[in-house]
Amino acid sequence: MEKLRDFEVQELAGHMLGKSEDEVEEMLNEDDGTLDELLLEKYNVEFEQFYIIVNDLIKFTPIVQLGLTGSRFHAFVLGNMAIAKLNVEEKK
């Protein structure tokens, strides 16, 4: 099964930790261990474990469809923005 990309899960984590768009971007660009520290503090997990959990949960998220392409995704959504998305596998 396809997996989410690291940067999408990192962005999702930042938003779950209550960070603004700018703070999330800064945290990801610095890569100084802050994300791991914050995840440990709030959820008692490091990023590697968080990544596994998020990838297991993505299949329980709503399916969204992109207007222009019609592509369908499972997605964690914030407002009208898909933060982390995974292609929906078509059943044959």
The pLDDT of residue 59 is: 92
Say if 1 falls within a structural domain: no
Question: Tens digit of pLDDT for each residue in 39-78?
Answer: 999 999 999 999 999 999 999 998 988 778 888 999 999 8
Question: Tens digit of pLDDT for each residue in 6-29?
Answer: 999 999 999 999 998 899 888 888
Q: Looking at residues 29-33, what average pLDDT do you find?
A: 81
Looking from the CA of 35 toward its CB, the CA atoms found within 13 Å total 25
Which of 68, 64, 69, 67 has its CA nearest to residue 86?
64
The strand ranges marked E within the chain are: 63-65, 72-78, 81-87
Say if 92 falls within a structural domain: no
pTM of the complete model: 0.85
Q: Give the residue numbers spanning the domain of 36.
A: 6-87
The pLDDT of residue 92 is: 46
Q: How many domains does the chain have?
A: 1
